[in-house]
Amino acid sequence: MNFIEHDLNFKNKLKKLNKPSMIVIHHAAHASANVLDVHRWHKQNGWSGIGYHFYIGKDGQIHKGRPENSIGAHCKDYNKVSLGICLQGNFQLEEVNKIQLDALIGLCQCLCDKYSISTIKGHGELKSTSCPGLNFPLMKVRQRVLRMFDNYIVKAGDTLWSIARHYNLTVLRLMELNGLKDSLIYPNQILKII
């Protein structure tokens, strides 16, 4: 995974982070702010510097923020046990583009594997805030990163085509999710649905 590093000067010596147990996702709440803008704003806020460990631009480039082994400043009461990822944009007003979303999912998968993390939260799930925005696809991120699936119990008369259509999947994707070699299914069979 490629990262863009910046020569960020922090006001104070940063405290080291113990093993993180979760990822907290944020949005910048600004359409075009870059990692240096956020670093400056956080310093103006009285912090040592950027509070997020990673910042993902709309172009999908992943920027390093606060060092990964340092305690973040992005979600009070959870900074010591989490890694913070912020995405450029305001997802109250806009949607995450595919390039940015794919970069986030790749980064989350990398961090989850590296630290054995199995919890991904949106900032607003931990604190009273709209961050990362109403248009942010948090469930989709969790499903793709943590490989979470819902189950569907096949009913008499169901076909893979009807199930796939109902869940907005292709038959091929449904077969891949369930390791099916052909389209034969039977009542009471449990299928994974993403």
The tens digit of pLDDT for each residue in 83-109 reads 999 999 999 999 999 999 999 999 999
Higher pLDDT, 100 or 174: 100
One-letter amino acid at 38 equals V
- SS3 call for 113: helix
d(CA 190, CA 66) in angstroms, rounded, equals 44
The tens digit of pLDDT for each residue in 107-165 reads 999 999 899 898 999 999 999 999 999 999 998 898 888 876 677 889 999 999 999 88
Contacts with 152 (C-beta within 8 Å, 6 or more apart), sequence order: 163, 167, 190, 191, 192, 193
Give me the pLDDT at residue 130, please: 95
Beta bridge partners of 122: 25
pLDDT confidence bin for 7, thresholds 50/70/90: very high
Question: CA 111, 115, 120, 122 torsion: positive or negative?
Answer: negative
Segment 173-186 shows an average pLDDT of 89
Q: Which of 34, 30, 62, 31 is nearest to 50 (CA)?
A: 34
Give how far Cα 97 sits from Cα of 3, 90, 103, 123, 163, Å: 19, 12, 10, 20, 27
d(CA 139, CA 38) in angstroms, rounded, equals 26
Give me the pLDDT at residue 176, please: 86
Give me the pLDDT at residue 139, please: 85
The tens digit of pLDDT for each residue in 31-85 reads 999 999 999 999 999 999 999 999 999 999 999 999 999 999 999 999 999 999 9
Length reported for the chain: 194
Catalogue all structural domains in the chain, each as residue range(s) with its CATH number. Answer: 22-146 (3.40.80.10), 150-193 (3.10.350.10)
Give me the pLDDT at residue 152, please: 83
Classify strands 82-87 and 54-56 as parallel, antiparallel or unpaired.
Answer: parallel
d(CA 184, CA 24) in angstroms, rounded, equals 41
